[in-house]
Amino acid sequence: MPDPFADDKALVHFVDLAERAGTHVIVVGIGHYDHLPGGGGTPTQHHLNLKQLTSPPISARKVASWFIESFDCPEKPLGSVSLVLSEPAPATFNNSKTGASFTVPTGTTAEVKSALAAWVGRAEARAESRIILYFSGHGLASGMDNLYLLRDYGRDPQDPLSGALNYQRFVAGLATRKPSHQFMLFDACRSADPIAALNTTGGQGIFFADPAGRLGIGLPMQQCPVFSTELDRQAFGRADEASLCARAFIRAMSGACSKRVGNAWYITTDHLVDVLTDFQNRELAQANAPMQQAADANRFARIPLRKLPGVPTIPVFVRLADKTAAPNVLIRAVRANVPRLISDPKSAGWQAQDIWETALEIGEYSFEAAPLQGGAAIVKSDTVMPSFLEVEL
Amino acid sequence: MGQLELRFDKRNLGSDLKLGVVARVRQIKNAEGKFPLEPQEREVVIPAGTSATRTVDDLPPGTYRIEARLPSGQVLRETRKVADEQSVGVVFDAGHSPHEWLSFQRLAGNVPSQAQYEEWVNKIAEQINEFAKAKADAAKPIQIDPATIRGWARFLHGTHVTIQPVLKSISDLLNKAKELSGAVLTTSGAEGENKQVDVPPVAAPDAPVVAKPAEFELLEADPAHASSLWDAVVSMPAWMAWRQNTQPDATLAAQRMDDRQLTLWRIDQNDRGRRVVAPSGKPVPLRSIAVMQRGDGVDVIPLPVPWPLTTAMPPAAIEILREAGTSESGRTTLTVRDEFVGSMIMYLSTGRMADAAAVLAEANHDRLIEELISEKGDNPFAACAAYYVGFPTLPAGETPPRWINWLENLMDLFEWLPDGAVIRAAYLLKTAKVPADLDASLAAFKTAYRRGMPFYTAGLQHLLNGLYTFSATDAEAKAMHEKVAAVACRVNPDRAFTQITIAPAK
């Protein structure tokens, strides 16, 4: 078998699935833009007041690492993860599972095109394959059209959008390819811009739309693109941190978006938009930010994104009514007499937090805040179930 | 075994909405008070109104959490204990509508309750306080009294902010606050609170080209020339030229209600039997179009009428909600008050497809959809909605329901309906097994284009992608795709029904 890493510079994780259908993931984080102010390249006059971003590469690393470390699916196991990172200097990525280190593509149009082609190429081994795309970077919108800007946006002064991905053409082309389950998450602004309205056919479609591409495949195409924010709205992320959407997506995939189908648990697209919205807005509210970020989808397919090997774990957020008591209480969750530690001020490196986040299996728990010096504990019982639970003690 | 009796309390809907709100029933404790090994979990659709209930039976004794998910995304939760042979009632209440005439819009999630407004504005006031405190030169925090908060609620709504979209940033708000300081609140398009006026169609056949569009018009278009709309909606000059040669729609009547921030147009279908003869010799309904002023531009909405097609069934009420008067900002939303598929469309409109699919599944379970879209062809618009929701939400590998077969006839039975042809084309493209399926798909996409703009946004999306798919190999498909793409960038993708915004000429 030829070395899969030799032909695809974006590939950072590969599992030989032999004849099995699997899950193939590509993660693209475009933070550095050569031709926007501060990018170091010839500045484009069509900068649209867009700035350099720090969050997308961080988000992309986090999402890619989560898939490599935590994505287990007995039905369609992880087949590959590829990564494109636009940072000021060529980026390296360490695969924590294999220990291998990679210098990944920098996010130019040619590099993204090549990485996307290799990603779909791997998945085309089986029509039952599931493909997952996560994109983070600048986005523009006009009606049904979206444009996602790549590293070299603005390089060609005659056609600055040659450095952008045309969403409509991209999804239409991808829909004619073999993998039958296609999920995409676009974590980018959808700010209305006249440049998008005037250039509906601008940007790269990446995939040639071949009507005959799926002839003979018995499975219907199920394609589900999701946006991190609504039309005419911005997507948020703190500088030098993963975006709200990236964090929400990881929580959703970890268990928050689980649904029981028969005797098994699945992560599905069913309520993904609501779950992403809940987590994004929860973080904004926690930061006292006066804005909201609702995820959105204007086309849909019911796709299982992951079959869980067991019972899901659900995010649980615990806080104290009296924040100042944190250094003096032990916080834990108890189920069937088995305690799960949430906060122990005596542990090494302990730091007070406004909210402790943990993940617990579905079921009923007794949450306790017990004074270290003895005395009556504050106890509350509650049931952990999707998509998350908030407990105040 | 026990049972739950579920109802969503909503007054002033006219009649109960049989399939109203999606609810999830989850068992969280068994009879012994422990989390069950095999907890019950059901998804049901509960009626919205004042009397009808939905029974969830055969429930093992235990404690149940019931979540009602509204089209707006708001989730209401109740917990109940159920004992053997016991029936337990649960009534959800999402709060009062700002006005009786907004009751349906409140259910659809298009307007918040007054209580939500005030709570939200209180939060904003807190933010302003924080902001003021953070400024070194801020001597004291800004004080806002409750009366002002109510004023803010009106102001915020007037500047197109609703409880859901909220602000882009605090700086936007603060800038507005500075502008407002000491100023009288202004509103647009208002003639006083809670005004209700009957408005006849206002277009005149020989009207000259006017500089400013009318606030609201109902126009009719000849279905034989429906494809001319593709060119008409790409610019204001093109629109005004097209508009000059069209007639007011006399089959519809609109009733206007407003409370200064929100304007509701309730459209009555007074004559659903009117037909014109198509080139095929068959009688077909005229196309009706609602047009609303948006600044110096307009919103154009092809109306899904006659709904239903048969006059043997009562007409559905069509409502168009407009925020912020005739200003450039604010949302426009079309809803259809159909007792069976109305809520499915509400969920479709807010992107909650899984919930829309739950309504469809319940309707299908009750064989309602089959009744509506069978060969009788009573309600092709409901049939189209069923397809747009049903097909993408079918679990993989599951046998398609029987109604899928009837939907394929939509193209042939209703030669005036672009969505019928789009559905046929998209279905063939998705499931093509041999090249002949692709040929048929392409032909159906072209037929759809010639029938004019699809009534549903999902139809326009399918048409856009379908024509693009064939555009590399078919010149006519390429030309059609370019026209559709020019319209698609003016369409609000977050609405169930196609709604085009034509910006003013610069």
Question: Does any CB of chain B come closer than 8 Å to the CB of residue A360?
Answer: no
Residue A96 CB partners (closer than 8 Å, separation 6+): A65, A68, A69
Domain end call among B296, B321, B337 = B337
> What is the mean predicted confidence (pLDDT) over B468-474?
95
DSSP string, B230-276: HHHTTSHHHHHHHHHT-EE-TTEEEEEEE-SSEEEEEEEE--TT--E
User: What pTM did the predictor assign?
Assistant: 0.87
Which domains does chain A possess?
4-307 (3.40.50.1460), 313-392 (2.60.40.1120)
Residue ranges of chain A whose pLDDT lies below 70: 232
Collapse the DSSP code of A48 into the 3-class scheme (helix H, G, I; strand E, B; otherwise coil) and give the result: coil
Question: Does any CB of chain B come closer than 8 Å to the CB of residue A151?
Answer: no
Domain end call among B322, B337, B352 = B337
Residue with tokens 């008591």: A325
B351 contacts on A by Cβ (under 8 Å): 273, 296-298, 300
Tell me what pLDDT residue B99 has: 79
Tell me what pLDDT residue B369 has: 63
Peptide bond into A387 cis (omega under 30): yes
Strand ordering across the sheet containing B195-199: B195-199, B252-258, B262-269, B317-323, B332-337
CB contact under 8 A, B465 and A260: no
B42 to chain A, closest Cα gap in Å: 10
Tell me what pLDDT residue A294 has: 84
For residues B51 and B159, state if they share a domain. no
> What is the mean predicted confidence (pLDDT) over B27-33?
89
Q: Is A42 exposed, middle or buried (0-12, 13-18, 19+ CB in 10 A)?
A: exposed
> What is the mean predicted confidence (pLDDT) over B107-136?
64
Tens of pLDDT, residues A58-87: 999 999 999 999 999 999 999 999 999 999
Q: Is residue B169 part of a domain?
A: yes
Structural domain count, chain B: 3
For residues B200 and B175, state if they share a domain. no
CB contact under 8 A, A143 and B492: yes
**Pairing verdict, β B17-30 and B41-49:** antiparallel
Tell me what pLDDT residue A347 has: 93
Is the confidence at residue B480, as pLDDT, over 80? yes
> Which one of A197, A300, A362 has the shortest CB-CB distance to B489?
A197
| Length of chain B, in residues | 506
A273 contacts on B by Cβ (under 8 Å): 351-352
Residue A6 CB partners (closer than 8 Å, separation 6+): none
CA–CA separation, B19 and B6 (whole Å): 12
User: Which residue is closest to A216 within chain B, CA to CA?
Assistant: B433
**Nearest C-alpha neighbor of B350 from the set B495, B497, B492, B164:** B495
Q: Is residue B292 part of a domain?
A: yes
A333 contacts on B by Cβ (under 8 Å): none
CA–CA separation, B447 and A289 (whole Å): 50
**Nearest C-alpha neighbor of B121 from the set B84, B159, B150:** B150
**Nearest C-alpha neighbor of B497 from the set B323, B349, B287:** B349
For residues B234 and B155, state if they share a domain. no
| Residue B486 CB coordination number (10 Å) | 18
For residues B44 and B135, state if they share a domain. no
> What is the mean predicted confidence (pLDDT) over B236-240?
93
For chains A and B, CB pairs below 8 A equal 160
E strands of B87-240, at which residues? 87-93, 195-199, 216-221
Tens of pLDDT, residues B143-184: 444 444 444 544 443 333 343 333 333 334 444 444 443 322
CB contact under 8 A, B166 and A169: no
**Nearest C-alpha neighbor of B154 from the set B114, B196, B108, B194:** B114
Is the confidence at residue B311, as pLDDT, over 90? no
CB contact under 8 A, B173 and A290: yes
Domain end call among B94, B115, B150 = B94
Q: Is residue B131 part of a domain?
A: yes
CB contact under 8 A, B469 and A176: yes
Question: Does any CB of chain B come closer than 8 Å to the CB of residue A144?
Answer: yes
Is the confidence at residue B465, as pLDDT, over 80? yes
A289 contacts on B by Cβ (under 8 Å): 170
Pick among A208, A314, A361, A383 to test the B interface (most B CBs inside 10 A) = A383
Question: Does any CB of chain B come closer than 8 Å to the CB of residue A356?
Answer: no
Q: Are A252 and B127 in contact (CB under 8 A)?
A: no
Tell me what pLDDT residue B111 has: 76
B317 to chain A, closest Cα gap in Å: 25
Q: Is A120 exposed, middle or buried (0-12, 13-18, 19+ CB in 10 A)?
A: buried
For residues B73 and B126, state if they share a domain. no
> What average pLDDT does chain A have?
93
For residues B217 and B261, state if they share a domain. yes
Residue with tokens 């040669």: B245
Collapse the DSSP code of B474 into the 3-class scheme (helix H, G, I; strand E, B; otherwise coil) and give the result: coil
Collapse the DSSP code of A387 into the 3-class scheme (helix H, G, I; strand E, B; otherwise coil) and give the result: coil
Question: For the ranges B16-25, B190-199, B329-338, which has the lowest average pLDDT?
Answer: B190-199
> Which one of A211, A269, A274 has the shortest CB-CB distance to B438?
A211
Q: Which helix (H) or strand (E) holds A191?
A: strand A191-192
Q: Is residue B319 part of a domain?
A: yes
CB contact under 8 A, B35 and A362: yes
Report which DSSP code applies to A255.
I
For residues B119 and B88, state if they share a domain. no
B361 to chain A, closest Cα gap in Å: 14
Q: Is residue B416 part of a domain?
A: no
CA–CA separation, A386 and A388 (whole Å): 5
Report which DSSP code applies to B162.
-
CB contact under 8 A, A290 and B127: yes
Collapse the DSSP code of A307 into the 3-class scheme (helix H, G, I; strand E, B; otherwise coil) and give the result: strand
For residues B201 and B168, state if they share a domain. no
A388 contacts on B by Cβ (under 8 Å): none
For residues B74 and B114, state if they share a domain. no
Tell me what pLDDT residue B289 has: 96
B206 to chain A, closest Cα gap in Å: 33
Pick among A204, A276, A300 to test the B interface (most B CBs inside 10 A) = A300
B69 contacts on A by Cβ (under 8 Å): 274
Q: Is residue B286 part of a domain?
A: yes
> Which one of B127, B457, B490 has the shortest CB-CB distance to A288?
B127
CB contact under 8 A, B432 and A215: yes
Angle at A124 between CA A119 and CA A127, to 5 degrees: 130
Q: Is residue B257 part of a domain?
A: yes
CA–CA separation, A83 and A102 (whole Å): 10
| Residue B205 CB coordination number (10 Å) | 9
CB contact under 8 A, B169 and A291: yes
- Cα B42 from chain centroid? 26
Q: Where are the alpha helices (DSSP H) in B135-182?
A: 146-158, 170-180
> What is the mean predicted confidence (pLDDT) over B22-28?
92
Q: Are B338 and B172 in contact (CB under 8 A)?
A: no
Report which DSSP code applies to B137.
T
* CB < 8 Å from B in window 81-120 of A: none
Tens of pLDDT, residues A86-105: 999 999 999 999 999 999 99
Tell me what pLDDT residue B451 has: 96
Amino acid identity at B119: E
For residues B132 and B74, state if they share a domain. no
Pick among A299, A305, A334, A381 to test the B interface (most B CBs inside 10 A) = A299
For residues B12 and B149, state if they share a domain. no
* CB < 8 Å from B in window 168-187 of A: 168-169, 171-172, 175-176, 180-181
Is the confidence at residue B129, as pLDDT, over 70? no
For residues B172 and B289, state if they share a domain. no
Q: Is residue B385 part of a domain?
A: no
CB contact under 8 A, B28 and A221: no
CB contact under 8 A, A274 and B482: no
Q: Are A161 and A145 in contact (CB under 8 A)?
A: no
**Pairing verdict, β B500-502 and B283-284:** unpaired
Question: Does any CB of chain B come closer than 8 Å to the CB of residue A321?
Answer: no
CB contact under 8 A, A168 and B485: yes
CA–CA separation, B121 and B313 (whole Å): 44
pLDDT category, B338, cuts 50, 70, 90? confident
Structural domain that includes position B326: 192-337
Tens of pLDDT, residues B246-286: 999 999 999 999 877 789 999 999 998 888 888 888 899 99
